[in-house]
Chain A
Amino acid sequence: MTTTPEKAAQETDLVTVTIDGVQVSVPKDTLVIRAAEQVGVQIPRFCDHPLLAPVGACRQCLVDVPDAGNGRGFPKPQASCTLPVADGMVVSTQLTSEVADKAQQGVMEFLLINHPLDCPVCDKGGECPLQNQAMSNGRGESRFTDSGAGGIKRTFPKPINLSPQILLDRERCIVCQRCTRFAAEIAGDPFIELVERGAQQQIGIAENAPFLSYFGGNVIQICPVGALTSESYRFRSRPFDLVSTPSVAEHDACGSAIRVDHRRGKVMRRLAGNDPEVNEEWITDKDRFAFTYATAPDRITYPQVRDRVEDGGDGALRPASWPEAFAVAARGLAAAGAIGVLPGGRVTAEDAFAYSSFARVALGTNDVDFRARPLSAEETSFLAARVVLGAPQVGGVSYADLEAASTVVLAGLEPEDEAGMVFLRLRKAVKAGARVVAVAPFSTRGLRKLGGELVATAPGGEATALDALTGLDERSVVLVGERLATSPGALSAAARLADGAGARLAWVPRRAGDRGAIEAGCLPNLLPGGRPVADASARVDAAATWGVDGVPETPGRDADAIVAAAVAGELGGLVVGGVDPDDTADPAAFRAALDAASFVVALELRETDVTRAADVVFPVAPVSDKAGTFVTWEGRVRPFEAVFSNPASLPDLRILAGIAEELGRPLGFRTVQEVRARMAEMGPWDGARATHEPVAAAPAAPAAASEGLLLATWKQLVDNGSMQDGDDFYRSTGRTPVVRVTRTVYDAVGPVVTLTGDRGSVSLPAEIADLPEGVAWVPANSFGNGVLADLASPGSRVTVKGVEA
């Protein structure tokens, strides 16, 4: 059952209606069904959904209206889900009107005549609006089976696939159209539609056009019967066997509220939570279905230490106790000399604070950087000056601001792939009249669904394109993605664009922990709370809270420099959190750094190239096993509690605290609660902020002179990311990897092409897109080990040739 949040309304906009004898004042245009909720009357409903346009199809919510506000009543019962209130209106629901009650019971009886009574084996049984409302607002016994010669139900062969993941049981469907309306109105993927008519009316897909939507799983959740199920969850459990724990999704920086349903220590499914300010009632399919990575067979469950050959061992990792692992790690790090810390972008804010503290307090270095992806010094400066400490409560851009924006500029950001809830808000914004402009290589499906304008831009040309944009005002928002770091001058240009027009600027990263890591100071130039390393008073302030004499004065190395320094022998040790070498700017260099470093400590969930190279491996808790906080792209704090209590599963912060204690430089915390207290104690920096030094755009690359095509790339929502491992049905809903090229190139080289860069080659089908000449696009992590490992660096040149069929 869904209800809308109460919204503060202006006094002048209120109208007063009487529902079942109770007067209530509600905003003008409120639907009667919502007004009734305000007085505590629940009118049964199926097609009605507060986030979808009214349709009035199921007729379950009929009420009697003896006075429409003009002294006259409606002669027939009215659907309360389509009837707006009017001043003086009198409504009698099923509670006070026999007409309404009989109408509702009649509709319920009709709904049930063709509905199979398979509740005992139906996944929805126990949480089914049809089942529940049939009990509350229906007849006890059906007259259908005893009528005439005995009622015969309409049947369908069952079930059919709408997509590789979503199944439709047509017999159970009451054709309320919630799913089709969601697909058309919210997601913009109208690949399911009503077909046939009368009792044969059903939800269908076109031939060879499955319901492939990044948001498709939501239709399962809003289905008021058991007609839509997922391959992943179908027949797995009953709702009344599940324990539900609210949480926050870990797959992107959107901070979606989710509900984790688990049984006997195992997550069975995840659902969207209801948070009107963030994700409303929707989540991406990644947030819904990608959770089995935490129970993958290669999950690390105990600490391991390497018996080094030079110490007389066999050079292999062996299981170790926690105390031994702490001691070995501390000893190794102490002996290794200078250490770099790479926490990765998947950390909770508390874990990020621990990494930040560990680097400064235990290791005495500013060589810490959460960024496990291509980055730049310009970005480092931009994050410290323009991103950290921004939040809705201090005037930062929020989801609501997107919805109310006049123009939204997207640069280095493909919201449908990289920030699903931003995409859905932009859909709403566009419906309300907003204009979307994308500085991007081509018109993506997402951009088309936003009715957006493309400023076709080759990699590296973003700064110039942003400088040329006009038409922004103070209700405009410039959204920049993390990919903009790789385009010199682009972040500077975005800031210049926003500042020049009085518009607002927000940075939308991909990973859930990115923003929290910035706030926690996991950057070489920032201490926790936005304290600039370069600011002496900020350093003193942080050191005081940490209880240490001081922190290093000079900004440290960024992630690329840490890798380079390790390769060069300037850094002897590395502490690596959740970093996949293939995500980094130079995967080969990262692996070389792991080899070159004399001592590597890995904190990981599952086996990776880092754990295989590490000297000590600590298993860390997945998000389901720990409390934590993600900070959304807006800067909104999204704390969550642990789903499971698993004493063998320790968060990164506990491990770092253990090593620090062995080093003799304790961090002053061991638990999430203690870190939260320490973070609150340190608080946000109220002194001068770091300043951003604008960087000039790179000179335009001579187009024709250079060989090959400039490579544009980003990660699609559904791809080979390791946190999506384990649900093949979900993965099958991803988009087929293709190379996008211009028509000229396509005509020259044909339907299947091989791209070759300085790191390898890939052969994929080609599709034509409205790219600028001289540019090709591939998905970043949908083939092999990904673009960075197997092809080339984004923005570099690749050659293209046709593949013979």
Chain B
Amino acid sequence: MADTLTPVLTDDWDAEQSWKLATYESRGGYQALTKALGMAQDDIITAVKDSGLRGRGGAGFPTGMKWSFIPQDNPKPKYLVVNADESEPGTCKDIPLMMASPHTLVEGVIISSYAIRANHAFIYIRGEVAHVIRRVQAAVAEAYAAGHLGKDIHGSGYDLDVVVHAGAGAYICGEETALLEGLEGRRGQPRLRPPFPAVAGLYASPTVINNVESIASVPSIVKNGAAWFAGMGTEKSKGFGIFSLSGHVTRPGQYEAPLGITLRELIELAGGIREGHSLKFWTPGGSSTPLLTDAHLDEPLDFEGMAGVGTMLGTRAIQLFDETTCVVRAVLRWTEFYKHESCGKCTPCREGTWWLVQTLAALEKGQGSESDLDLLLDQCDNILGRSFCALGDGATSPITSSIKFFRDEYLAHLTHGGCPFDPAASTLFPSLSSTAVGAQA
């Protein structure tokens, strides 16, 4: 099954000092840049369009089409903003990518900025990952020193400055307009749309905002051609993507594969579910995507396949939970995350997540009644599609999907008078022995 993998973005990760410019260039890095600077800018946009690349941040909007929305007759400067505020529970693809191969991103930034005629690009990195920020900063510095950035890049007449911006620790800043607010120095809360960022984004100027992985995919498309990229994946979900397997799996990690691969294949690549256990439920793309069960092992992991079973491909953050896991407990933890990260701007998300946590916490302790399940679903109904941005929608996904598949397990908490599961059994480390406890005393 190993030939299922298509290492492109991850190809250099195992190289010695893979994050260094020299390593990157020795393996063909920045050749795409040279090629791109010799191309007409619109041809690059066309190539990205033809490749079928869809946004890798979760929503799956066609990247080339997003670029073509930038009004080139607008006299204001154009900006490229890379959304590297990876904060979704379970999602862990951009941070390893930036850590292992930052130049893949930097090269993508240069080519993408050139295509949309931006002379300033910003990489907005989640503030908690200081080591990654330093690594990308170092890569940008190396790129400047090598003449890949700055004035008149390689004699092309094209100028580009890249700013690496550290976020301040808010999940909401992964929402693109909240990210722009934060980048402008304001409180990170989503903006009213329209105007859309393509027309009035950063500093009220035309702005493209793309996910790290989307931008990092651009050099390979330029280098190998749109047809090469479109040759992978499925009809409407072309190309490859990083699948991040975590949880109860033998070899968790990043698996770069064509879209449309199934979870069964991925689990095989990862050495199977934890020894002696079986899959109970999983998220296809982070906690905001409705969870699935072992009945969905053969569904194609692409945008259409996941939509077909009532969920979303999301960020391909596949969290795997075996039968030792209490779904109520897992959902409560996620919901606590959304409550903590709700920005507060709109009522349904701010107040709704506050209430959801209380109702769920009671259920986990076996308190409340069966009617609270219907109340939970009604609360979710009053949040989903009523919130200002997608954060509130995402908060409802684990609850509604878990009640759909595991209603009986919720009820078991009520009849059992608490959680029927042993929380220690689901841990990935040996349960605390009495000696360990004794050692602390």
Contacts and interface: CB of A to CB of B under 8 A. Distances in A.
B168 to A, nearest CB: 11
Interface residues of A, number: 39
B293 to A, nearest CB: 26
Given A62-B386, A198-B343, A175 B350 contact: yes
A431 interface: no
B170 A197 contact: yes
A539 interface: no
Contact of B352 (A62, A75, A110, A175): A110
A186 to B, nearest CB: 18
Contact of B347 (A111, A148, A194): A111
B361 interface: yes
A139 to B, nearest CB: 11
- For B341, B347, B361, which residue has the most chain A Cβ atoms within 10 angstroms? B347
B365 A149 contact: yes
A703 interface: no
A175 B348 contact: no
Contact of A200 (B172, B344, B365, B386): B344
A109 B382 contact: yes
A198 B368 contact: no
Nearest to B361: A148
A764 B382 CA distance: 59
Contacts of B361: 148-149
Nearest to B365: A149
A199 interface: yes
Interface string A69-81: 0000001110000
B310 interface: no
B339 interface: yes
Contacts of A109: 382
B362 interface: yes
A152 B358 contact: yes
Interface string A194-212: 1011111100000000000
B351 A199 contact: yes
A143 interface: yes
B206 to A, nearest CB: 22
A107 B345 CA distance: 13
B35 interface: no
Interface in A127-174: 143-144, 147-149, 151-152, 154, 174
A487 interface: no
B402 interface: no
Contact of B359 (A60, A75, A147): A147
A373 interface: no
A351 to B, nearest CB: 51
B13 interface: no
Given A56-B192, A76-B386, A148-B367, A107 B358 contact: no
Given A75-B385, A77-B386, A82-B192, A198 B339 contact: yes
Chain A contact residues: helix, strand, loop or mixed: loop
Interface in A454-501: none
Contacts of A75: 385
B232 to A, nearest CB: 32
A425 interface: no
Interface in A189-228: 193-194, 196-201
Contacts of A149: 358, 361-362, 365, 367-368
Contact of A148 (B341, B358, B385, B388): B358
Interface in B207-247: none
A198 B386 contact: no
A437 to B, nearest CB: 26
Given A149-B362, A198-B340, A77 B385 contact: yes
B346 interface: yes
Contacts of B170: 197
Contact of B382 (A110, A175, A194): A110
Contacts of B339: 198-199
A621 to B, nearest CB: 49
A55 interface: yes
A81 B139 CA distance: 46
B348 A106 contact: yes
Contacts of B375: 143, 147
A106 B358 CA distance: 17
B187 A194 contact: yes
A54 B388 CA distance: 13
B334 to A, nearest CB: 15
Given A57-B345, A143-B375, A198-B344, A151 B350 contact: no
A109 to B, nearest CB: 7
A59 interface: yes
Contacts of A143: 375
Given A114-B354, A198-B344, A199-B354, 11 more contacts: A56-B192, A77-B386, A82-B192, A106-B379, A106-B382, A109-B382, A144-B355, A148-B368, A149-B358, A152-B358, A175-B350
Interface of A: 54-60, 62, 75-77, 82, 102-103, 106-107, 109-111, 113-114, 143-144, 147-149, 151-152, 154, 174-175, 193-194, 196-201
19 contacts: A59-B346, A59-B386, A60-B347, A76-B385, A102-B381, A103-B386, A106-B386, A107-B382, A113-B351, A147-B355, A147-B362, A147-B375, A152-B358, A197-B343, A198-B340, A198-B341, A198-B343, A199-B350, A201-B345
The 4 A-B pairs of least Cβ separation, nearest first, read A106-B382, A201-B344, A148-B362, A76-B385
